[in-house]
């Protein structure tokens, strides 16, 4: 495959189709511990075309796992004939979601106390990357399997994983403070959207003086990372100047 276009640049989200989005929202927020980002209902005609269900209304809740930024999208298909499937993980076409947590037993107990199911009691893995830790399969309100894993005490001695990303540094023009006002909302909205999608891991500017912006960017190569900055309204308006890109090893 040729380098450049046609490759993933970030993980988007995991989508789960649920019976009742309010019920599932409560489970993933209050039992699992995700943070809610957005709650909305949409019936845009293009959604019916994309999903193959003309006239569709989607009831949506978007949540995030705060440490990793991975997004979970809960979707309730309304005004559509629906049939539940058997979500047992041995069945082809089903799925499960997995979260690394700090205490499997506490979340398992919270799930059971709130009336939700569990495939098994927590166990201590004896092999693989979670050896010596804890593991359990819960079942969400629709029976979808939710795996929880916890690192064992030997984890600090294990190899540390890193991710190859890019550090993009951009200088502000000398008169940026006076000229950026009309474009700041568009700029921040774009950065926020790229952060939600995982392209921008972190971004911001020095607050003691309007001199430099920094962004950690997931991209295929340095030029693709540079293009993320070049496409910003601040560049088009001359508010950002002198873009530099360096490869960066991010500890994960």
Query: Which percentage of the chain shows pLDDT scores above 70?
Result: 95
> Given a cut of 90, is residue 30 above it in pLDDT?
yes
Joined together, the tokens standing for residue 102 give: 């700090």
Joined together, the tokens standing for residue 15 give: 């989508």
pLDDT at res. 158: 54
What value does the mean pLDDT of the chain take? 91
Joined together, the tokens standing for residue 225 give: 């990372």
> Given a cut of 70, is residue 154 above it in pLDDT?
no
3-state secondary structure of 155: helix
Kind of pairing between the strands at 57-64 and 71-78: antiparallel
pTM for the predicted model, two decimal places: 0.62
Kind of pairing between the strands at 145-150 and 96-100: parallel
Average pLDDT of the segment spanning 76-91 = 92
3-state secondary structure of 123: strand
pLDDT digits (tens, 9 = 90+) for 97-118: 999 999 999 999 999 999 999 9
Contact 57, 42 (CB under 8 A): yes
Q: How far is residue 76's CA from residue 24's CA, in Å, rounded to a whole number?
A: 10
Please name the helix (run of DSSP H) or strand (run of DSSP E) that holds residue 103, with its range, or none.
Answer: none
The string over 120-129, giving b where at least 16 C-beta atoms fall within 10 Å of a residue's C-beta and e elsewhere, is eebeeeeeee
Strand partners, 202: 216
Tell me 159's DSSP state. P
> Given a cut of 80, is residue 166 above it in pLDDT?
yes
Please name the helix (run of DSSP H) or strand (run of DSSP E) that holds residue 210, with its range, or none.
Answer: none
Query: Which percentage of the chain shows pLDDT scores above 90?
Result: 80
pLDDT at res. 68: 84
Contact 198, 247 (CB under 8 A): no
First vs last C-alpha separation in the chain: 28
Average pLDDT of the segment spanning 163-177 = 94
Average pLDDT of the segment spanning 191-205 = 93
> In residues, how long is the chain?
252
Model confidence at 69, pLDDT cuts 50, 70, 90, reads confident
pLDDT at res. 1: 45
Model confidence at 96, pLDDT cuts 50, 70, 90, reads very high
Strand partners, 39: 61
């Amino acid at each position: 495959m040729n380098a450049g276009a046609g490759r993933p640049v970030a993980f988007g989200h995991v989508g789960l189709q649920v019976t009742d989005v309010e019920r599932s929202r409560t489970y993933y927020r209050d039992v699992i511990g995700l943070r809610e980002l957005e709650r909305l209902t949409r019936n845009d005609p293009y959604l019916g075309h994309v999903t193959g269900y003309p006239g569709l209304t989607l009831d949506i809740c978007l949540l995030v796992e705060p440490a990793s930024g991975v997004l979970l999208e809960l979707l309730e298909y309304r005004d559509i004939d629906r049939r539940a499937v058997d979500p047992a993980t041995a069945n082809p076409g089903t799925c499960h979601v997995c979260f690394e947590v700090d205490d499997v037993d506490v979340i398992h107990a919270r799930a059971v106390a709130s009336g939700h199911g569990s495939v098994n009691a927590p166990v201590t893995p004896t092999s693989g990357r979670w050896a010596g830790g804890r593991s359990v399969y819960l079942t969400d309100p629709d029976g979808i399997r939710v795996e929880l894993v916890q690192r064992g005490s030997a984890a600090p001695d294990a190899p540390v994983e890193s991710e190859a990303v890019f550090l993009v540094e951009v200088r502000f023009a000398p008169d940026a403070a006076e000229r950026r006002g009309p474009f700041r909302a568009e700029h921040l909205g774009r950065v926020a959207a790229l952060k939600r999608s995982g392209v921008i891991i972190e971004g911001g500017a020095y607050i003691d003086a309007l001199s430099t912006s920094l962004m950690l960017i997931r991209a295929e190569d340095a030029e693709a990372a540079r293009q993320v900055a070049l496409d910003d309204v601040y560049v088009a308006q001359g508010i950002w100047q002198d873009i530099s890109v360096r490869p960066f090893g991010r500890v994960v």
